[in-house]
Amino acid sequence: MSAVFEVRNLKRSFGGLAVTNDVSISMAPGDRVALIGPNGAGKTTFVNLVTGNLKPSAGQVLLGGEDVTGLNSTQRVRRGLVRSFQVTRLFPEMTPEEHVALAILQREGRSGRMFGSHRAMADVGEETAAILSTLGLSSLADNRVREIAYGQQRLLELALALALKPKVLLLDEPAAGVPQSDTGLIEKALADLPADLAVLMIEHDMDLVFRFARRVIVLAAGEIIFDGLPSDATRDTRVRQAYLGSYADARSLA
């Protein structure tokens, strides 16, 4: 299958230090890829380069075959590259229903409308209800976000991503900060993501990585040192070496 998302020889250096060095990745629709790496490996920089929040020193980012390297982050979102945040970024005074409706309206190019409430738009209401229901948030639809639990806020982040109907979804530690009791909900939501969506997940929690990903990419010191099956990653010598120091033994990954 042709690549829906591709990164070619991406480079970014701060001062003389190459934080992302010649990174190339290709993903097809339906891929479930986890990007892992020890602290300081350059994961955050990589995410920012992909989303367009940082400009690369060299290399290209392609979405569905189109070069989007010159586009800013909002233009990339409109072309189907959507991200979630490591620490939830939501509107504290707005309700989940308003969040999802706004995302749907934005996707459809109706967010600039100055007349009529979204509540009077039946199609938006239906889709909002359906998305909230998928993620088990229906009962909280009218609560203000600052009043709902963190685990549910994380689910709402996923709801926003789904409402935008992306082609490529970048999940930045989707389970970070979620109490143990709620991680099951997040995992279920991740398992239920649309089958044709390409998902790239940045994650520290190895249990989650091995349950979710069918392919693992290991980043260390700004370079890809492994790209392959999760089961092979734990046996790879370079991966073990990279993790020595931050993890006692790569065997504990499995």
Binding interface with other proteins (CB under 8 A): 73-74, 77-78, 82-83, 85, 89-94, 98, 101-103, 105-107, 110-122, 125-126, 129-130, 133, 136, 138-139, 160, 164
CB nearer other proteins, residue 43 or residue 107: 107
Shortest distance in whole angstroms from residue 117 CB to other proteins: 5
Shortest distance in whole angstroms from residue 95 CB to other proteins: 11
CB nearer other proteins, residue 160 or residue 186: 160
Place of tokens 């948030």: 137
CA–CA gap between residue 8 and residue 223 (Å, rounded): 13
CA 139 → CA 77, 111, 133, 147, 164, distances in Å?
29, 25, 9, 13, 22
- Within 10 angstroms of residue 228's Cβ, the number of other Cβ atoms is 13
- Within 10 angstroms of residue 88's Cβ, the number of other Cβ atoms is 19
Q: Report yes or no: 217 and 35 within 8 Å, Cβ to Cβ.
A: yes
**CB burial class (10 A; 0-12, 13-18, 19+) of residue 131?**
buried
Shortest distance in whole angstroms from residue 85 CB to other proteins: 7
Shortest distance in whole angstroms from residue 201 CB to other proteins: 16
CB nearer other proteins, residue 87 or residue 254: 87
Q: Is the dihedral of CA 194, 219, 6, 50 positive or negative?
A: positive
CB nearer other proteins, residue 157 or residue 226: 157
CB nearer other proteins, residue 89 or residue 235: 89
Shortest distance in whole angstroms from residue 167 CB to other proteins: 13
CB nearer other proteins, residue 142 or residue 179: 142
Shortest distance in whole angstroms from residue 126 CB to other proteins: 5
Shortest distance in whole angstroms from residue 104 CB to other proteins: 10
Q: Report yes or no: 63 and 29 within 8 Å, Cβ to Cβ.
A: no
CB nearer other proteins, residue 61 or residue 242: 61
Q: Report yes or no: 230 and 216 within 8 Å, Cβ to Cβ.
A: yes
- What is the 3-state secondary structure of 119-167? HHCHHHHHHHHHHHHHCCCHHHCCCCHHHCCHHHHHHHHHHHHHHCCCC
